[in-house]
Structure 1
Amino acid sequence: MADRPVSRVVVARHGEALYESELLSDAGGWLSPLGREQAAGLGELLAAEVITRVWTSDMSRAVQTGEIVAARLGVDVVVRTGVREFGVGAAAGTTGVPDPFAETFAAWVSGDLAARIPGGESGDEVVARWSGVLEAIADEHEGESALLVSHGGVMSMVLPLLATNLDPGHARDRPIPNCGHAVLERGAAGWVVRSWLGDRLDP
């Protein structure tokens, strides 16, 4: 493990999306014109990163973002279900007001990963599926850089829990905007976030 090459993974949120309905669902949505501009901008920003592959969740707003970035970088795209947004559970078909996830999300950030979205996933289940894909990406890209396009809620919850240098509530003060990104590196000591929304962080 001590001699394992560092894997560098840029984790980005998808671009601004439009949806068929304003009601909550697990549907994928699609990029708005602004979202396409944001994705193109992300591709330009990452041109100096030497990204070797783009990975995305299977939700269409993430896939479309990844395809736009990959076209700019000249690399291929791989889709993985495990890094999709956490499911809405029993809140499907509601307006989402008040926020039906606030209590569960607060419990997750406080360390209670057994807490479950009614009719949906527990924190343990979300972390397991999302981190499993991240580890697989890191294994495949040892000594390289890759891009993972995912979703704001799951990124805000999981990344601070995985990183050795972030407080679990880090994203509360630094929420991730559309096409905002964090740079992670996995080395012998585990995962470290090198930058969050462009600001460098201490290991």
Structure 2
Amino acid sequence: MVARMILMRHGRTYSNARKHLDTRPPGAELTEIGRQQAFDTGRRLRNVTSDIGLAVCSIAMRAQQSLNLALLGYGAMPLDVPGVGKPSIPVEVILGIHEIFVGADYDDMDSSEAHRQYNIAFEGWQSGDLSAGLPGGETAGEMLDRYVPALMAAYERANGKDLFVVTHGAAIRVLCIHALADPSITGPHIDNGSLTVIEPVGEFGQWRCPMWASND
């Protein structure tokens, strides 16, 4: 069986709750709901894999908090003092897998114009347009240029075991639109705490996705 990439979208944040675009690290922290989502995702992760070789997350605060809580739920962190102590699975905070940047004019904004521009970019991302992005922000192609090498390097460091990745919604979408042999499976929404499983078989663009954005 091929080792897999298991991608988790971080838990709900205060920016999510306020509907603010939040793409520049460190970003907002998790809400109490988000913390519970992350822990619960870790518990569900037990049903997906029992063989994680490496767990990584982006440099965003929400991703680091979500990874810690997910590993606690999974049983890979000390249970008596949450968040303290060495996990039984190697953990890394890595550069390159943070959210696609929406630009300085729109980051941390909740205006109708910010959301209008985001929706335009979203339609481009969903259609596979590598040049799509908000004015002043990253394009899909620019995001992939930093994201894919960082992801593949982490996958290699997992040493033939599954790689667990806590990352971001739009980043997961852009990655999968271009990585998968069948990008049509990528639905319109990726919930906080959901899990996506990728089998990186063959060339980038021919990978398989047996689980898309599941909360089950």
The normalised TM-score by structure 2 is 0.79
1:73-112 matches, within 5 Å, as 73=76, 74-89=88-103, 90-92=105-107, 94-98=109-113, 99=115, 100-112=117-129
- Equivalent AA in structure 1 for residue 29 of structure 2: W
- Equivalent AA in structure 1 for residue 64 of structure 2: V
- Deviation at residue 78 of structure 1 after TM alignment: 0.8
Structure 1 residues 93 and 85, CA gap change in structure 2 (3 angstroms): closer
Structure 1 contact 88–117 (Cα < 8 Å) conserved: yes
- Equivalent AA in structure 2 for residue 164 of structure 1: A
Aligned position for 2:71: 70
The equivalent position to 1:10 in structure 2, one of 3, 6, 13, is: 6
| Structure 1 residues 80-134: Cα deviation after superposition (integer angstroms, max 9, x where no partner) | 2211111120213532424121112212322321233211111110122122222
1:1-203 matches, within 5 Å, as 6-19=2-15, 22=18, 24-25=21-22, 26=24, 27-48=26-47, 49=49, 50-71=51-72, 72-73=75-76, 74-89=88-103, 90-92=105-107, 94-98=109-113, 99=115, 100-167=117-184, 170-172=186-188, 175-188=189-202, 190-198=206-214
Structure 1 residues 117 and 197, CA gap change in structure 2 (3 angstroms): closer
- Equivalent AA in structure 1 for residue 195 of structure 2: H
The structure in which a higher percent of residues are strand is: 1
| Structure 1 residues 134-181: Cα deviation after superposition (integer angstroms, max 9, x where no partner) | 2112222353112100111221222122111322x7232xx1101101
Q: Distance in 2 between matches of 1:119 and 1:17?
A: 24
- Structure 1: 4+ residue segments shifted above 3 A: 21-25
| Identity within the alignment, % | 26
Structure 1 contact 104–115 (Cα < 8 Å) conserved: yes
Q: Distance in 1 between matches of 2:27 and 2:209?
A: 28
Q: Distance in 2 between matches of 1:78 and 1:112?
A: 31
Partner of 1:30, secondary structure, is: coil
Farther-moved stretch of structure 1 (156-165 vs 29-38): 156-165
Structure 1 contact 80–133 (Cα < 8 Å) conserved: yes
Gaps spanning 5+ residues in structure 2: where?
A: 77-87
Structure 1 residues 16 and 191, CA gap change in structure 2 (3 angstroms): same
Q: Distance in 2 between matches of 1:10 and 1:145?
A: 7
- Deviation at residue 24 of structure 1 after TM alignment: 4.0
Q: Distance in 1 between matches of 2:183 and 2:30?
A: 30
Structure 2 contact 53–160 (Cα < 8 Å) conserved: no
- Equivalent AA in structure 1 for residue 6 of structure 2: V
Structure 1 residues 185 and 142, CA gap change in structure 2 (3 angstroms): farther
Gaps spanning 5+ residues in structure 1: where?
A: none
What is the number of equivalent residue pairs in this alignment?
192
Farther-moved stretch of structure 1 (142-151 vs 95-104): 95-104
The normalised TM-score by structure 1 is 0.83
- Deviation at residue 43 of structure 1 after TM alignment: 1.1
